[in-house]
Every structure is written in structure tokens, then in C-alpha cells.
Amino acid sequence: MFINKLYILIIFLIFGLNLTGYCEVAIIPQPRSIKYTNKSFEFNENTKIIYKDIDKDVAQYASSILSRSTGYPLQLSGEGKQLDNCLIFKKINDSNLGKEGYRLDVYNNYIMVSANTDNGLFYGFQSLLQLLPAKVYSSNVQNSVRWIVPGVNIVDKPHFKWRAMHLDVSRHFMPIEFVKKFIDLLAIHKFNRFHWHLTDDQGWRIEIKKYPRLTEVGAWRDGTLIGLNTQPESEKKYDGIVHGGYYTQDEIKEVVQYARKRHIDIMPEIEMPGHAQAAIASYPELGCTGKNPGVKKDWGGSKYIFCADENTINFIENVLDEVLELFPSKYIHVGGDEVSTGHWVNGERVKVTMERYNLKDMYEVYGWFMGRINRYLKSNKRTMVAWDEIIEGGIPDEAVVMSWRGNTGAIQAANMGFYTVNADSNYTYFDKYQSESGSEPLAIGGLITLEDVFNFNPVPSELSFNNRKFILGAQGQLWTEYMPNPDHVEYMAFPRECALSEVLWTYKNTNFDNFENRLRNHLKRLDTLNVNYRRPN
Ligand code: ACM
């Protein structure tokens, strides 16, 4: 009896696993359903890409990515009835797949990617890439590789509709080429949103034509703090090196287009009323004191905040006019976090505002400020997103709350019927340490391991079943105080970003061992892409 079972197991291992290619399938994020077949497809120099009933974008993208590493021409064809030696993209009508789902079917003579939308086709193609050898991500031709795709039938769709990563380019400026690489990596992991944190105390990074000093002055600081911000003021030392940079409007348009082709929406963040010191250094009249504080060189909050009056609102509306022109995103993030109101309490102009609008305390002033901006965004058909402090001033109509101080904000917002994004700093702040090894590079403090991220549940268990629908999803944060360059950002982001992608797309995959096994293969892809990830223990 035992011998029989062993015999069957051996037969299964030899024929079942290997012939079907089972062992090699390691897709991240894990698809909802994979069935293994005994078929397989091999790309060669005659393989064509056929697209049906869709605009050409996904097919063209697929051809350009695949031909780079295979060296095959992978010609596009809009017609063709013969199902022979081709990769087919086909729009279908399948209500089970939703707006972002897809099917991926591999046969001996063709591969079919089908979906209701271009987004779905794009994600199907991303899964196909992960069925191929990792060298498919190479930027040059790999002659010695056979491009065999194991036989599978995949049916897949995401759990959450908000699947984002944030990147702070204010604390340290990140070059445009890196921003594009960052977007490529988002696409590979089936994220659909990039939260671009463009302004803060330490640097203003977006060209605004009406206010040139924002980038002439606000994009540059004279030096940067050495070491941790927690050291006593009197002991702080600065490197004395000018740091800065900004994106021109043309560059931003280019990045928005680049992201669009990868089905990623870019949500810009323009911080207000706090985190505004770089703007106030450019135009001191925007603060309540009229003083020029310079662009901030260390970290932590600033007492220089936008003064709460009509002049500042007018300035912000003008800035937003240019921002909205550049970013088609429905969602516009306006910060709202960590507002130190000392200058408001003593500000003559704030007194005038309080009298005029009958505001009794600083919470009401803050509520008025954010409410005005919300009204402006709504009048431009956009939706305001703000950090969870927004709850304290009364959430403006239809605003989306981004919960970062734990998940309390998400619970409060959802229970009040507001949409919310879970950015819980206990799970999604990738500026925290990844291990307690003592050999990690300097970080802000705290610990979030790969497994912590994998176990993150964006839907707080405190929420009633009915209110869970208000959780749009979640996102990872990369605050760059202690990440001076792109290599360092990659180190902090990966592989935690891979685990987050699985939380957001697959959801409730509780088998961390299985994730780690797939990650081993996935890291070969990141190697090919020259990603400076942290090697898991
Ligand atoms: C934040 O971390 N201040 C949103």
C-alpha cells in the first residue's frame, strides 16, 4: 500500500510537476486561479502578436517589451484567423472579470490573453512575462534562452481598486529616469496608482509657471542634516552640499503619459497648509509672519505654514490650475497633515479670516481652509484626498481620507460614510527598518518586516460588513528623509513592495512560505531589472 502511494508520488513528481512546468510558475501577485495543463508554447522569430477589437496600445507595448530581450521582431497584426504561432490579445465580455481582470490561456500553438478592458489585457501580459524566464526583463537580446511558456489557464482579477505606492521626491529629489523605473516596477506588480509627493518643507519639485520662484528658490536647499533628526538641535550638523531639483511641466507630461501606457494613474500631492516651508521661502508673504525661513534642511515638522486667508487660497487655486492641467487624475492629494498652528494663533490675517467666516478656533480655521480647497477641486470635477488629520476639521464633502496614524482614521472615515485608503504607518511605511540585524542602513526607526507587510489587512476588523466597502484599498509609503538616492529607495521598497502587491491584488493569501518560494524566483526578475532590493534572510 505504502509502496503504491510512493510510486504514484514519484510518477506525479516526474510527470506532473516537471512536464507541466508547475515548478516554474511563480507569479507575484499570486493569481486567483491557475490550472496547469500539459501544453506549452515557445516563442520564436516567426511569432506574431495579434490584436482584436482593441486599440493597439497593449499589443504594441507587448511587442516592444518582448522583442527587446528575445530579439524576435514580434510583428503586430490586426487580423489573422489562423491560430498558429501567435500571442493574441482579445477583448471579451465577461462580467466575472470586472474592470481589471483577465484570462490567460496557453496552448501549444498560441497564447490568448482576454479581458473586458485594456487594463485587464495589460495585467494578463504582465502575468505572461512572469511565465517566461526572468531574462525576459533584460534590456538587451538574450540569445541563449529558450522562451518557453508552460501550459496554464489563469483566471484573475484584483481584490482592491486602490493599489498604490507613494514616493516622496521632496526630502530627496529623484531623477526623472528613476521615476520611470519606479513606474515600471509598479506595473510589473499590478499596482494602478502612483502617489507623487511633490512638495514639502525641504523642496518644491514641480514647475509652476505663474510662480517661478517656487522652483528657482524653493527647489534648492543649502545643505542636509547629517544623521537622525532626533539629535538635540545644538548638536545637529549639516553636509553643506546644495541639494535640489525639480520637474519641468514638459517632463511631468512625459511621465504622466509614460504611466498611462502602463495603466497607472498619477495622483500628485501638493501639501497644505503645513509642510509648506519651501513655498514660504519662495514667497514669504504666504506665511503669517512675512519672514523668510529658507528651505528646511533637517526633518520633522515646520512651524512655517500657509497663512489662512484669501490671499493664500488664491495662490493655491492658481497653483492647482496648473497642476490639474498636468494631471488628469480624478484624485488630487492636498496633504493636510501635521499642521502646527502657532503662527495662525498669533496671525493678524488669520484673525480677519476668523471674523469674516465666524470661525471660533484653530480646528475651524483648518476646516475652513481645507473646505475651500475641496470646493475648488470639486468645481473642477476632481476629488480631494488628504491625510487623516482632515477628520479633525470635519471631512469636506466627498473627500477621501488617507489613514496613516494607524487605521483609526480609516475606521472613523468609513463609519461616517467616507471613502478611505489605508496607509497605516505600522504596515505601509517603508521608511522603517526591515530587520533588527543591526546592519541595516540608517532609517527613521521602527520595524516593518516582509512578513508584517504580507500579513497586513487593509480592511480593519472593527468595521461592520456594510462599511467595509468604504476601504478603497491601501498603499505603501516611501518617505525619503533617510533615502538619499534611487538605490536606497529600491532597497527600502523591495521586496516589501512585492508583498504589498499581493495583499492588494490577491488579498488574504495566508501562506507566507508559499510567497517566499515564489519570491525566490521573482528576485531573479528584479536582478535582471537591476533593482537594488534587500536580500531576504
Ligand atoms: C505623514 O506621514 N505625515 C502623512
Confidence tier at 54 by pLDDT (50, 70, 90): confident
Give 245's contacts (C-beta < 8 A, 6+ positions apart): 173, 175, 203, 205, 219
What average pLDDT does range 162-180 have in this prediction?
98
| pLDDT tens, position by position, 8-44 | 444 444 434 444 334 559 999 999 999 999 999 999 9
Q: Give the model confidence (pLDDT) of 269-279 as tens digits.
A: 999 999 999 99
* Å from CA of 337 to ligand 1 middle: 6
Distance 327 CA to ligand 1 centre (A): 22
CA distance 96 to 99: 9
- Looking at the CA of residue 429, tell me the nearest atom of ligand 1: 2
More confident residue, 11 or 345: 345
pLDDT (mean) for 172-184: 98
User: 125 pLDDT exceeds 60?
Assistant: yes
Question: Best substitution site from 388, 404, 432 to test ligand 1's pocket, by max atoms within 8 Å of Cβ?
Answer: 404
Cα distance between residue 525 and residue 126, in whole Å: 12
Percentage of residues in the chain having pLDDT higher than 70: 95
Mean pLDDT along residues 451-473 = 98
pTM of the model: 0.95
275 CA: nearest ligand 1 atom: 3
Q: Report pLDDT digits (tens) over 191-222.
A: 999 999 999 999 999 999 999 999 999 999 99
Instruction: Please say if the pLDDT value at position 176 is more than 90.
Output: yes
Instruction: Give the three-state DSSP class for 58.
Output: helix
From the CA of 425, give the closest atom in ligand 1.
Answer: 2
- Looking at every residue in the chain, the average pLDDT score rounds to 95
pLDDT per position as a tens digit, 426-442: 999 999 999 999 999 99
d(CA 454, CA 510): 8
Do you find a cis peptide bond into 273, omega within 30 degrees of 0?
Answer: yes
Pocket test for ligand 1, best of 166, 302, 387 (most atoms within 8 A of CB): 387
Q: Phi/psi at 302 (nearest 5 deg)?
A: -120, 145
Residue nearest to atom 3 of ligand 1 (CA): 337
Do residues 62 and 89 lie in contact, with contact meaning Cβ atoms separated by under 8 Å?
yes
Q: Work out the end-to-end distance of the chain between its first and last CA atoms, rounded to an integer number of angstroms.
A: 41
DSSP assignment of 146-209, as one string?
--EEEEEEEEE--S-SEEEEEEE-SSS---HHHHHHHHHHHHHTT--EEEEE-EETTEE-B--T
Query: Are 402 and 193 contacting, i.e. CB atoms less than 8 angstroms apart?
Result: no
pLDDT band at residue 56 using 50, 70 and 90 as cut-offs = confident
Which class for 26: exposed (0-12), middle (13-18), buried (19 or more C-beta within 10 A)? Answer: buried
Phi-psi region of 202 (alpha: psi -120 to 50; beta: other; left: phi over 0): alpha
pLDDT over 90, % of the chain: 92
Mean pLDDT of 223-241: 98
Helix, strand, or coil (residue 114): strand
- Cα torsion 362, 367, 368, 373: sign: positive
Question: How many angstroms does the Cα of residue 423 sit away from the middle of ligand 1?
Answer: 9
Q: How far is the CA of 118 from the centre of ligand 1 (A)?
A: 34
Pocket test for ligand 1, best of 271, 338, 403, 428 (most atoms within 8 A of CB): 338
Asked whether the predicted pLDDT for residue 223 surpasses 70, the reply is: yes
CA distance 283 to 291: 9
- Lining residues, ligand 1, CB within 6 Å: 337-338, 387, 404
Under the banding of pLDDT at 50, 70 and 90, the label for residue 511 is very high
User: Tens of pLDDT along 277-309?
Assistant: 999 999 999 999 999 999 999 999 999 999 999
Mean pLDDT calculated for residue range 352-377: 98
Residue 490 has pLDDT above 90, yes or no: yes
- Active site residue ranges: 200, 275, 338
CA-423 nearest atom, ligand 1: 4
pLDDT at 114: 96
- 402 alpha carbon – ligand 1 mean position (Å): 10
